[in-house]
Amino acid sequence: MGTCRRCDWDSENLWEKVYDKNHNKFRYDKDNENCNTEAEICGVNRLRMGTDGEGVRSLVVFDKCPLNCKYCINKSFVNQLPTIKKISVSELFGMLKKDLVYFEATGGGITFGGGEPLLYADFISAFKKEYPFIDVAVQTSLNTDFYAVGKLVPYVDEWYIDIKDMNAGIYRAYTGRDNYSVIENLKMLVTLTDKNKIICRVPHIPSYNTLDDVNFSLSELKKIGVVKIEELEYIE
């Protein structure tokens, strides 16, 4: 407080969200079941902009992933982060609460990535239940079981989905897995959540897909009902 009027306003707004004046206590209780939910995470990369969603964001990185993408840069990124073993929901909040004012001022929040964050659906849903005032995004391949997707629908504010390619043969060659679950999960997600929360990313993958393949993916996604699509360039 006391820096500028905009910061004062953001601080007051944030304080109202986290503090219950009527009961004179914080709106979260670190002794409850959600706060004790734990997950193994590789690390947290704070104060990022431009790649993981709106505003200033902290990226929480999980390590496991069912895919084996040829140009995966995440595995080397994971190795550069300070390793965190098991962490509870309340411990993660403790690490990130100093960033709340930045989230508030910029419309940012937390992005769960990896690895495959949907393998940790219990942890993410527990986090959002406990701290509903924090914007939560996931960066996912959606190549997971549909229970995880359904479980997270009420708790995820933005879904960033790395589609790879909609052609099953290209997808299999690039990732080592079929994309059947991706397509079925995406169809389910489009019916269960606000379409504006779903951002599908379609990469140009050197040596794997062509411009025609990318255009095919874009058109298949539109047929499913996806309204927000980003094309990406992968660097070989």
- Residues in contact with ligand SF4 by the rule CB under 6 A: 65, 67-69, 72, 74, 114-116, 141
What backbone phi and psi angles, to 5 degrees, belong to 168?
A: -60, -40
Burial status of residue 29 (CB atoms within 10 A of its CB: 0-12, 13-18, 19 or more): exposed
Q: At what angle do helices 211-224 and 180-192 cross, to 10 degrees?
A: 40
Q: What minimum distance in Å lies between the beta carbon of 11 and ligand SF4?
A: 36
Nearer of residues 108 and 113 to ligand SF4, judged by Cβ: 113
Nearer of residues 4 and 235 to ligand SF4, judged by Cβ: 235
Structure tokens at 218: 């874009």
Q: What minimum distance in Å lies between the beta carbon of 24 and ligand SF4?
A: 44
Q: What minimum distance in Å lies between the beta carbon of 73 and ligand SF4?
A: 7
3-state secondary structure of 44: strand
Nearer of residues 35 and 117 to ligand SF4, judged by Cβ: 117
Nearer of residues 17 and 201 to ligand SF4, judged by Cβ: 201
Q: What minimum distance in Å lies between the beta carbon of 93 and ligand SF4?
A: 25
Nearer of residues 34 and 143 to ligand SF4, judged by Cβ: 143
Nearer of residues 68 and 210 to ligand SF4, judged by Cβ: 68
Q: What minimum distance in Å lies between the beta carbon of 113 and ligand SF4?
A: 8
Question: Between β-strands 25-26 and 19-20, what pairing exists: parallel, antiparallel or unpaired?
Answer: antiparallel
Residue 25 pairs in a beta bridge with 20
One-letter amino acid of 87: I
Structure tokens at 88: 């509870």
Q: What minimum distance in Å lies between the beta carbon of 139 and ligand SF4?
A: 8
What is the C-alpha separation between 9 and 5, in angstroms, rounded?
Answer: 6
What is the C-alpha separation between 160 and 148, in angstroms, rounded?
Answer: 15
